Amino acid sequence: MANDLFSATTDLQMDKTKPLAERMRPQHLSEVIGQEHITGPEGALSRMIASGSMGSMIFWGPPGTGKTTVARLLANETELAFEQISAIFSGVSELKKVFESARARRMSGRQTLLFVDEIHRFNRAQQDSFLPVMEDGTVILVGATTENPSFELNAALLSRARVLTFHSLDEKSLATILERAEKIEGKPLPVDEGARDMLVRMADGDGRAVLTMAEELWRAARTGEVFNETTLQEIVQQRAAIYDKGQDGHYNLISALHKSVRGSDPDAALYYLSRMLDAGENPHYIGRRLVRMAVEDIGLADPQALVIANAAKDAYDYLGSPEGELAFAQACIYLATAPKSNAGYVAFNKAMRSARQNGSLMPPKYILNAPTKLMKQEGYNEGYHYDHDEPDAFSGQEYFPEKMGHQHYYDPPERGFEREIKKRLEWWERLRKERNRQK
């Protein structure tokens, strides 16, 4: 193998009829860029190959990070027969044919590496069909998915396969890919330094995307023309952000937004809010989550937080996009800069646990209404002290069921408005103890 990865030119690389991304496919695992934790000398695949023992795997990662390429190279370097299917176009009948071919191949002494692209698109029953051929060694399954395997693949399949995570390509890796492309094309990209940096950023970690855009630039450039950042955007347009509103991108960004608000970082919160809006997230989902943040992470430390969050939701309904998005931004800043408290959230969870654990305990009879004669005879409402008639409008009576005794769920911190609430609770607690001593 040549030490200089740019020096060897294959027939595939010379074939100008094929897309640049196809011509740029590495010929050896050691040439794969950006996944050194998998393909490097100490990487997971390199260790498997060295051990001579190969198991089934799930390749999980964003588009354009080399999952298909690595699967092909893995088959080449282990001398396994390579079969590739896509869950988008394949059904049960196609799977049966592949399994039959693999069994026949195995009878002649050769194993099959079955690469299944978009494996998460197979339903649970289809995923189960892989189990017998994985267990008896008919195939070594390599499934590729852009979605979280924990959510999209069944437990039986995951228990028989190792998950290898492919990372988005960093800017250095994408820049290296562009350098390789220039070697193969035999000419520099027609861009200035600023446009080159922008091209890398626009690729969003996707190696295939950066090559596709580079190819567009070479096609579009007139003799001697060099694109700047403005003309670059006009030629390639802006790629849509990698974001699936029903899957990982959705959950990752809302998690980042929520934790930025909780962490009192308005700048980070605005960034993730903008990412979600730019990617086309449902604004009503964002509005609901802002309301949730107000009650979960701020609560009574700032009672206005819930008012502001609800007002932002209503403002968006009234104004629509893009004007209504500013209301979300305003609410996001308010929530992030508000004093934080989850005391109400914690108290509610404690109360729910008590409610479930203690069953249907009867409240004290003296706090129950007695609308009928029988209920009065049974002692309902007998001995109840109307708090407004008591000194300080506080009777100090016990309201929990007798078998439970008095419970404490809510413990407000010394922050925001809850500082005042804490003073009230402490005052009432002192009064309660005084009234109990007087009895």
Rg (CA), the chain: 32
Give the CA-trace dihedral at 62, 97, 152, 143, to 10 degrees.
Answer: -40
Reading the block at residue 30, the tokens are 């050691």
According to DSSP, the residues that pair with 339 across neighbouring strands are none
pLDDT computed for residue 3 by the predictor: 35
Round to the nearest angstrom and report the end-to-end CA distance of the chain.
Answer: 94
* Statement: residue 273 has pLDDT above 90: yes
Helix (H, G, I), strand (E, B) or coil at 429: helix
pLDDT for res 436: 77
Domains and CATH numbers, the chain: 35-165 (3.40.50.300), 171-236 (1.10.8), 248-337 (1.20.272.10), 361-438 (1.10.3710)
What pLDDT shows up at residue 241?
Answer: 55
CA–CA gap between residue 295 and residue 290 (Å, rounded): 9
Residues 6+ positions from 128 with CB-CB distance below 8 Å: 154, 156, 157
What is each CA distance from 402 to 363, 369, 376, 399, in whole angstroms?
A: 7, 17, 19, 8
pLDDT higher than threshold 80 for residue 13? no
* DSSP state string for 327-383: HHHHHHHHHHHS----HHHHHHHHHHHHHHHH-SPPPPGGGS---SHHHHHTTTTTT
Count CB neighbours of 128 within 10 A: 13
Cα 223 from Cα 245, distance rounded (Å): 42
Q: Report cis status (omega within 30 of 0) of the bond before 364.
A: no
Q: Once rounded to an integer, what is the mean pLDDT over residues 328-336?
A: 96
Say what the pTM is: 0.63
346 burial via Cβ count (<10 Å: 0-12, 13-18, 19+): middle
**Tens of pLDDT along 98-113?**
999 999 999 888 899 9
pLDDT at 256 over 90: yes
Question: Per-residue confidence at 249, pLDDT binned at 50, 70, 90?
Answer: low
User: Residue 348: its pLDDT value, please?
Assistant: 93
Q: Do 339 and 299 contact (CB within 8 A), yes or no?
A: no
Of 237-251, 252-266, 366-380, give the lowest mean pLDDT range: 237-251
Ordered DSSP codes for 152-202: HS-HHHHHTSEEEEPPPP-HHHHHHHHHHHHHHHTS--SB-HHHHHHHHHH
3-state secondary structure 94-117: HHHHHHHHHHHHHHCCCCEEEEEE
pLDDT digits (tens, 9 = 90+) for 380-400: 999 999 999 988 899 988 889
Residue pair 207/66 in contact (Cβ under 8 Å)? The answer is yes
Asked if the model's pLDDT at residue 5 lies above 50, the reply is no
Residue 282 confidence (pLDDT): 84
pLDDT for the residue numbered 246: 53
Chain centroid to CA 36: how far?
23
Which among 135, 153, 151 is positioned nearest to 143, based on CA atoms? 153
User: Which tens digits make up the pLDDT trace of 179-195?
Assistant: 999 999 999 999 999 99
Task: Decide: 341 and 301 in contact? Cβ < 8 Å.
Answer: yes
What pLDDT sits at residue 145? Answer: 93
* DSSP sequence for 130-150: HHHHHHTTSEEEEEEESS-HH
Per-residue confidence at 11, pLDDT binned at 50, 70, 90?
low
pLDDT, average across residues 417-427 = 93
Task: Name the nearest CA neighbour of 146 among 33, 247, 57.
Answer: 247
Per-residue pLDDT band for 39 (boundaries 50, 70, 90) equals: very high
Classify each residue of 47-80 as buried b or exposed e, where b means 16 or more C-beta atoms within 10 Å of its C-beta. ebbeeeebebbbbbbbbbbbbbbbbbbbbeebeb
d(CA 161, CA 158): 5
Task: Look at residue 4 in the predicted model and tell me its pLDDT.
Answer: 37
Instruction: Count other C-beta atoms under 10 Å from residue 381's C-beta.
Output: 15
Residue 424 has what pLDDT? 93
β-strand 112-117 against 57-60: which pairing, if any?
A: unpaired
144-181 confidence digits (pLDDT tens): 998 889 888 999 999 999 999 999 899 999 999 999 99
Averaged confidence pLDDT in the chain? 88
* Residues 149 and 58: beta-carbon distance below 8 Å: yes
Helices 248-262, 283-293: axis angle to 10 degrees equals: 30
CA distance 104 to 430: 84
